[in-house]
Amino acid sequence: MVLKVGNKAPDFTLEDQFGKKVKLSDFNGQWVVLYFYPKDNTAGCTTEACDFSDNIKTFEEINTIVLGVSPDSVASHHNFADKHNLKLTLLSDPEHKVLEKYGVWRKKSMYGREYYGVVRTTLLIDPDGRIAHLWEKVKVAGHVDEVLKKYTELT
């Protein structure tokens, strides 16, 4: 699937770091930051998660939920969130169903080796469940500020 601004964000249900089922459509009526990241406890992913978590009060003030999705297990997410005192919801997609549905599970290559992995991507979803903005191949530094700036421009 090719994601485009204006399209309805595909609904899904995944387990969070506590094993609780979370459905995207549960957040209809509020803004959602849905970000896809490769792996818990790696440098870039930890920085990104901590940046979102450090700004969680700002997101709450603008009635915006932050959801992070990776192929890591519920237990991995729980340990990751606990270790870094993360204040956001991390969703586990070990079978890559949502990652594939959103088109972020792709062939990558490093040092001449090809493999499948998550392409770091963020969506800003409006209260009607439509994709308001899309960032592909995200650079972690300054990304949270970009998301907040785009929210301000759109509201």
Least Cα distance to 91 among 76, 108, 106 occurs for: 76
Among 45, 67, 88, 131, the active-site one is 45
* Residue 50 bears catalytic tag: no
CA distances from 14 to 22, 24, 65 (A): 5, 9, 15
Beta bridge partners of residue 68, listed in sequence order: 35, 90
How far, in Å, CA of 151 to CA of 110, rounded?
34
How far, in Å, CA of 152 to CA of 133, rounded?
12
Residues with a catalytic annotation lie at: 45
